[in-house]
Each structure stands twice: as C-alpha cells, then as structure tokens.
C-alpha cells in the first residue's frame, strides 16, 4: 500500500508521570490532573489532530514512568510533524500553578503510519 503525500501521520503519544508528582503533599495532585485535562482538551482541539483512542494504566502501575512502559497513551492521526511538535509543546505551555505541566509529566511521540488492513477471510 503506497503512502499518500496527504495521508496523516499515525502518532502514538506516550505519557509518563514524573517523580515530582509523587513528591507533592497528599491532596495537591488535583492541580496536576486539572492541567493534564486542559492539555488533553487543547490537544484534541489542535487543527489536524484526530484522536483515535486513549489508554491509561494508572491502576496497574504506581510510581513514576520515565520510559516504557508509560503511564498512558494517546493514539491519533496528525496532519504533519509541526502539529505533532505543537501537541508535545502543550506540556511546556499548560500551567500547573507556577510551573509548566512538564514538571510533573512528560511526553514522547512515536510517528509512523497505519498498517494495511488485512483482507477478510472467506
């Protein structure tokens, strides 16, 4: 299946929670959650982003995740690499109190393309 120049990029956004979040006093994590929800809303609103699905593993993973396995994932079709970069940049621009969201969470984008759909068996 040839790639079309206008085909969107398939992007897996991998999101980790940093130790700074776990160092917060009990009850102060809600501000980070609110910042995270703001980031998700803004990411979904970026022109050229179609969110295909999300997954959160916070029930089976406790503690920081600085690399794989990540705490949560967001799969999206994205129009181009600058839009992928703009999505990642939300971690710098969304504020949690006096800090950017990146103080408490991190993001990594994996960019590829969809696999071809297998033919239906008869």
Q: Tell me, what's the pLDDT at 87?
A: 98
Tell me whether residue 63 is in a domain.
yes
User: Alpha carbon of 42 to those of 28, 76, 100: distances in Å?
Assistant: 23, 14, 15
Tell me whether residue 1 is in a domain.
no
Question: Among all chains, which residue has been given the structure tokens 């690399």?
Answer: 67
List 22's β-bridge partners, or say none. Answer: none
Tell me whether residue 122 is in a domain.
no
Tell me whether residue 51 is in a domain.
yes
C-alpha neighbours within 13 Å on the C-beta side of residue 33: 8
Tell me whether residue 121 is in a domain.
no
Tell me whether residue 15 is in a domain.
yes
Q: Tell me, what's the pLDDT at 6?
A: 80
CATH number of domain containing 53: 3.30.70.1030
Q: How many CB atoms lie within 10 A of CB 105?
A: 24
User: Alpha carbon of 33 to those of 1, 8, 95: distances in Å?
Assistant: 41, 29, 11
pTM of the model: 0.86
Q: Tell me, what's the pLDDT at 52?
A: 97
* Four-residue CA torsion sign, 16, 103, 74, 114: negative
Residue 117, C-beta contacts closer than 8 angstroms, at least 6 positions apart: none
Q: Give the domain range for residue 81.
A: 9-112
Q: How many CB atoms lie within 10 A of CB 10?
A: 16
Tell me whether residue 118 is in a domain.
no
Number of separate domains in the chain: 1
pLDDT tens string, the chain, 122 residues long: the values are 445 668 899 999 999 999 999 999 998 899 999 999 999 999 999 999 999 999 987 777 777 777 788 889 999 999 999 999 999 999 999 999 999 999 999 999 999 998 888 876 55
Q: Tell me, what's the pLDDT at 115?
A: 86
Q: Tell me, what's the pLDDT at 95?
A: 96
Tell me whether residue 17 is in a domain.
yes
């Amino acid at each position: 299946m040839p790639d079309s120049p206008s085909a969107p990029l398939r992007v897996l956004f991998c999101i980790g929670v940093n130790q700074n979040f776990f160092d917060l006093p009990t009850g102060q994590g809600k501000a980070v959650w609110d910042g995270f929800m703001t980031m998700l809303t803004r990411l979904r609103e970026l022109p050229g982003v179609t969110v295909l699905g999300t997954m959160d593993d916070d029930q089976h993973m406790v503690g920081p995740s600085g690399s794989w396995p990540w705490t949560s994932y967001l799969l999206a079709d994205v129009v181009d690499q600058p839009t992928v970069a703009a999505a990642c940049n939300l971690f710098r621009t969304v504020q949690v109190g006096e800090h950017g969201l990146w103080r408490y969470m991190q993001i990594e984008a994996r960019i590829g393309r969809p696999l071809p759909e297998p033919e239906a068996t008869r």
